[in-house]
Amino acid sequence: MKVFYRCPKCQKLIDFLEVEEYNEKALGLNILTEDEKEDIIEVEYDNIYIDLTCDECLEEDNWVEMIHNVRIH
Ligand SMILES: [Zn+2]
């Protein structure tokens, strides 16, 4: 099966890998709560889609947060 990491903000495909079987631990997903998993993991037939904010959107987020913080203080 294939695992796709895609950015939920800009829909960019960040990375993809092929795995023998779906293993949460191998994919580093065992650290997530059940709610988080439901939110970011989507399984479709043999494909697994995982939401992962890409670097560009992450930077944008930090930037917005930074501006926000400056305004508050
Ligand atoms: Zn993005």
> Is pLDDT larger for residue 66 or for residue 47?
47
Q: What is the arrangement of strands in the sheet containing 41-44, beginning at the earlier edge strand?
A: 13-18, 2-6, 47-51, 41-44
Take residue 34 and report the two structure tokens written for it.
Answer: 């059940």
pLDDT tens, 16-61?
Answer: 999 988 888 888 889 999 999 999 999 998 899 999 999 999 998 8
Helix, strand, coil percentages (3-state) for the chain, rounded to 5, are 35, 25, 40
H/E segment holding residue 15: strand 13-18
Q: Report yes or no: 13 and 21 within 8 Å, Cβ to Cβ.
A: no
Beta bridge partners of 17: 3
Ligand 1: centre distance to CA 68 (Å): 20
Ligand 1: centre distance to CA 60 (Å): 9
